[in-house]
């Protein structure tokens, strides 16, 4: 069974990026090569700050949306 991962990475400039994937290793490699999200291009290296798994893509996307609506302080609290 494939599980979906909601993740938060911290970019070199200290900003946070939230995403969803079913293969975190592959997705982080894509970010590192500049082939990931447009936001992360040129902002590497990255460090994983938070992950959580969900049984369905829909649930993971819903949670990602919730996290993206949080302000920076709330995201930092989640990652510590």
CATH code for position 12: 3.40.1440.10
Query: Does residue 23 belong to any structural domain of this protein?
Result: yes
Q: Using CA atoms in the order 25, 28, 29, 35, what is the torsion angle rounded to 10 degrees?
A: 140
Query: Does residue 71 belong to any structural domain of this protein?
Result: yes
Query: For residue 41, what are the CA distances in angstroms to 1, 56, 66, 73?
Result: 31, 28, 23, 23
Query: Does residue 80 belong to any structural domain of this protein?
Result: no
Give residue-wise pLDDT tens across range 10-26: 999 999 999 999 999 99
For range 65-79, the mean pLDDT: 96
80 has pLDDT over 90: no
pLDDT the model gives residue 36: 87
Say if CB 10 and CB 16 are below 8 A apart.
yes
Query: Does residue 47 belong to any structural domain of this protein?
Result: yes
Query: Does residue 25 belong to any structural domain of this protein?
Result: yes
Sign of CA dihedral 51, 16, 56, 25: negative
Residue 36 belongs to domain spanning: 4-75
Query: Does residue 8 belong to any structural domain of this protein?
Result: yes
Domain count for the chain, please give it.
1
CA atoms within 13 A on the CB side of 29: 4
């Amino acid at each position: 069974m494939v599980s979906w991962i909601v993740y938060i990475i911290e970019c070199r400039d200290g900003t946070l990026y939230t995403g969803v994937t079913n293969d975190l290793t592959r997705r982080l490699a894509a970010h590192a090569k500049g082939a990931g999200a447009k936001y992360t291009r040129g902002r590497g290296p990255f460090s994983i700050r938070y992950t959580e798994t969900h049984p369905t893509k829909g649930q993971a996307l819903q949670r990602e949306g919730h996290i993206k609506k949080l302000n920076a302080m709330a995201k930092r609290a989640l990652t510590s």
